[in-house]
Amino acid sequence: MRETDQIRPVRAIYIAGVNKWVPISAYVRQIKICKTNPDAEFKHGLTSWWPCTGAEIMRQFRRGMHERINEGIPYNQRGQEMVSDVDDRGLPPV
């Protein structure tokens, strides 16, 4: 394999509504389409498998964005299992 043929990792986003991973570039392109066409109906939403309008998809997008912000988890640590420093009763581990 030549140096110019190196495989680059593709950043992807999980779409729960259809249980698929999509490249960020395709995700952003579709979000822009939904934003400019709020009355158009699309095959599925971000969190639902049934048809949704562009406006509904934008609401799902914003809700997910706010959830990620409020979690306070750095991007490079998303998807990793978090080790809690307290047990179910709120006490530190022994």
Distance CA(62)–CA(60), nearest Å, equals: 6
How far apart are the C-alpha atoms of 14 and 3, rounded to whole Å? 30
pLDDT for the residue 63: 93
Strand segments (E) across 35-90: 41-42, 52-53
pLDDT band at residue 69 using 50, 70 and 90 as cut-offs: confident
Across the range 10-15, mean pLDDT stands at 85
What pTM, to 2 d.p., does this model score? 0.67
Between 47 and 94, the more confident residue is 47
pLDDT at 84: 55
Q: Where are the domains of the chain?
A: 9-73
Angstrom distances, CA of residue 93 to CA of 69, 79, 84, 85: 28, 23, 9, 7
